[in-house]
């Protein structure tokens, strides 16, 4: 079935349809307006009707098109020549049909070079890793136009059987989606550039189970802060009572601590030991200090301000290594207290729970929980709905 599209460069309407198994895209002289779309739709209806009836004359509709000459030949001759050309191409025995498109590994590099400037360093590394370790080894020697929907579905099924690194279970649906996303983007871009139908049509992302929220109770928070090493007590106090992400608190600098206004200004983050912009624009925010947080930061100021620009740092003034802290401080502490092992990120969920329990969502939650450009009312509703089951 044909469609009406718009060429980005000219904003002119395009008639997009298939004839004799070949995709045809013919640009009109009409700008994109509702009235012109109706006119073009009528032309497309006539084309499809004549194609179905076997009376379509390409040259009559598009006399100046390069395809008009091709389709002027006898359909039988055209079919025979097309078949001969197809069989003469390398890989014809395997059913390939677009040998004129670049190899996946070549186009993937072009795509990565063009897109990577839009991404954070951490995301760039993840995509590069998935390309090098998974996608290019799998599809690298195939022409992008020859990758079929069946190939993608088979690949997705293979991923579902792969054992996750360091675990006994298979890859999660979330991880599978993340591997497939670059493949989807690469093939969609290739389809647009080389005029073939993307094989990702009607392939939806796998459904991801809702993440499990496991906040600590106020009693557990007290036990943790009473027992943790003294040099990390203020660090975890700030984590539990602000809800800052790991990268945000590890990358917090003294220039963003405003004692006079009692604000923590979240402006940067640290990921893989590199300073970066926050996770999203909405993550740029000001967090009001409670008295606990204010006191903790004052103690920390006396301990580290002379050492480093970072609020929480190692003995040599460098930012904390969150993997090292988690392995050597966080998990041993939970084991010592007999608490269920939970990721440090649960301190963020705990902060939301404590905020909800104290019924202060109306004054603080909207500025603390930036998962997008929330409006104040929506932030309050979502926080209450998600965390109220742990409130007293």
Can you list the domains of the chain with their CATH numbers?
3-88 (no CATH), 104-194 (1.10.150), 218-390 (1.10.443.10)
Residue ranges for the chain with pLDDT beneath 70: 1, 73-99, 166-168, 356-392
Contact assessment for residue 40 and residue 13, using Cβ atoms and an 8 Å cutoff: yes
> Distance between CA atoms of 380 and 41, rounded to whole angstroms?
47
Contact assessment for residue 2 and residue 44, using Cβ atoms and an 8 Å cutoff: yes
In this prediction, residue 368 carries a pLDDT of 52
Classify residue 169 by its DSSP letter: S
In this prediction, residue 83 carries a pLDDT of 54
Strand partners, 201: none
Q: How far is CA 306 from CA 25, 55, 300, in A?
A: 67, 85, 10
> Distance between CA atoms of 213 and 226, rounded to whole angstroms?
24
By C-alpha distance, which of 156, 190, 192, 189 is closest to 175?
156
Q: How far is CA 215 from CA 182, 247, 366, in A?
A: 33, 19, 19
Contact assessment for residue 363 and residue 259, using Cβ atoms and an 8 Å cutoff: no
DSSP reduced 3-state for 163: strand
What six digits make up the tokens of 84? 């001969």
> Distance between CA atoms of 219 and 203, rounded to whole angstroms?
47
Q: How far is CA 14 from CA 24, 92, 114, 374, in A?
A: 10, 32, 26, 38
Chain-centre distance of CA 256, in angstroms? 28
In this prediction, residue 336 carries a pLDDT of 96
C-alpha triplet 255, 257, 261: angle, nearest 5°:
120
The model scores a pTM over 0.75: no
> Distance between CA atoms of 130 and 134, rounded to whole angstroms?
5
Relative orientation angle of helices 230-242 and 346-357, to the nearest 10 degrees: 60
């Amino acid at each position: 079935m044909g469609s009406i599209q718009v060429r980005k460069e000219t904003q002119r309407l395009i008639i997009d349809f298939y004839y004799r198994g070949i995709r045809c895209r013919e640009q009109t002289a009409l700008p994109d307006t509702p009235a012109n779309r109706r006119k073009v739709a009528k032309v497309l209806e006539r084309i499809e009707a004549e194609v179905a009836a076997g009376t379509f004359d390409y040259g009559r509709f598009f006399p100046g098109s390069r395809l008009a000459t091709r389709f002027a030949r006898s359909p039988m001759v055209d079919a025979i020549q097309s078949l001969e050309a197809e069989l003469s191409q390398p890989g014809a025995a395997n059913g390939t049909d677009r040998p004129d498109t670049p190899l996946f590994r070549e186009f993937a590099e072009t795509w990565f070079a063009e897109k990577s400037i839009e991404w954070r360093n951490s995301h760039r590394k993840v995509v590069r890793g998935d390309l090098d370790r998974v996608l290019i080894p799998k599809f690298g020697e195939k022409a992008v136009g020859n990758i079929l929907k069946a190939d993608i579905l088979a690949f997705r099924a293979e991923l579902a059987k792969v054992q996750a690194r360091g675990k006994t279970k298979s890859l999660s649906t979330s991880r599978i989606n993340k591997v497939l996303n670059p493949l989807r983007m690469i093939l969609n871009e290739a389809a647009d550039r080389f005029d073939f139908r993307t094989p990702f049509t009607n392939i939806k992302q796998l459904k991801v189970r809702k993440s499990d929220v496991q906040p600590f109770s106020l009693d557990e928070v007290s036990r943790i802060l009473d027992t943790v090493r003294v040099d990390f007590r203020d660090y975890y106090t700030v984590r539990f009572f602000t809800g800052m992400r790991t990268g945000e608190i590890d990358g917090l600098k003294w220039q963003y601590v405003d004692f006079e206004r009692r604000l923590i200004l979240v402006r940067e983050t640290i990921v893989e030991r590199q300073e970066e912009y926050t996770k999203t624009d909405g993550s740029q925010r000001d967090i009001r200090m409670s008295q606990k947080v204010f006191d903790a930061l004052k103690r920390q100021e006396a301990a580290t301000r002379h050492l480093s620009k970072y609020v929480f740092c190692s003995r040599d003034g460098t930012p904390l290594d969150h993997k090292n802290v988690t392995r050597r401080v966080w998990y041993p502490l939970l084991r010592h207290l007999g608490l269920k092992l939970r990721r440090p990120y649960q301190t963020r969920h705990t902060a939301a729970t404590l905020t909800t329990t104290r019924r202060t969502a109306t004054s603080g939650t909207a500025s603390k929980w930036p998962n997008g450009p929330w409006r104040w009312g929506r932030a309050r509703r979502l926080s209450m709905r998600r965390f109220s089951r742990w409130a007293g």
